[in-house]
A = this chain, B = another copy of it.
Amino acid sequence: MASEKELIERTARKFAARAKPDLRIGIGDDAAVIRPRKGYEMVVTTDAFLEGVHFSIGVHSPAEIGYKALARATSDVAAMGARPLYFFVNLALPDSRTGKWFDSFLAGMSRAAHRFELVLAGGDTTKRPQVAINISVIGAVLPGRAILRSGARPGDLLCVSGRLGEADLGLRVIQLGWDKRTKWKRLLRKQFYPEPRLELGQWLAEKKIASAMIDTSDGLSTDLGHICEASGVGARVWAAKIPKVKIPNQLGLDALRLALDGGEDYELLFTVPRRLAGRLPKTISGVPITVIGEITRERKILLVDEQGRTTQLRNQGWDPFRSRTTRKQG
């Protein structure tokens, strides 16, 4: 049976290669010591990724769990327009997952850390009947450049990156038990390996183009609600404009519903003052950007269909205290 110390050492070894000069003390002391980057503000986010709530051991491989745990947390740094630097991981594991499972988990997390240029700076492990992963990520952003949820103003354009509903589509394929069929595998990628839109977020912060931003973790209908509430505004969303995922006929799913309420896409939803709209390219760092609506003074979120009919868009996204499905939150 592995001891706590051994697990921490295995973790530290796995992530040891990438030291950064401003991390004075990393894993192995009572706390990490970080020299703040001169002329930058710090961005800090924490995120829980829990077995039976956010993932299932039978469905998600250890490598996918490790990757996704870090990707989810890092997406919150992307949503501020910041650059991620360090992360901390607190793990709870049953004894049965301290062997091979743990190594694969670390390999997946290491792949994410490498990709997002994140350095492990601390954490610990504890024994528990179910796997629980708590991640903290620290990033940096130029002073005053962090893009908040609260900056949207009436008249701003509402934009989104990538396509919506893709991660939820993967979840549906899994729930149908079709995820082992080769033909369907490509539909699972976004569910297992989400991509925080780091370059896009930083581009928007650097160019000062976005007035408000959030990542779509709970679904457009919920996440747009967060922007509107924080900004004291409403929005009008044009259903036809939403970049939806293509859904195989056999699944009988509504692509619009999936795009509106499906969580875990980790795309960026942001607002752009109309006068800056001309400076917004069609793709940024290879990610397509689509204008899907506009911000309104009236504090309601309306969905406009292709016939011009308007309905109120209700928050149908995920709340762990209301739902029983395995989904993302944060």
Contact = CB atoms under 8 A, between A and B. Distances in A.
A148 B41 contact: no
Contact of A146 (B25, B90, B138, B149): B25
Contacts of A148: 25, 29
Nearest to A54: B126
Contacts of A132: 48, 50, 92, 132
Contacts of A42: 33-36, 42
Contacts of A36: 36, 40-42
A7 interface: yes
A3 B143 CA distance: 34
A270 B80 CA distance: 40
A154 B162 CA distance: 60
Contacts of A139: 31
B319 A88 contact: no
B3 A319 contact: yes
A30 interface: yes
Interface in A7-36: 7, 24-25, 28-36
- Which 7 A-B pairs rank lowest in CB-CB distance, beginning with the nearest? A36-B36, A31-B45, A134-B134, A30-B79, A30-B76, A127-B320, A46-B88
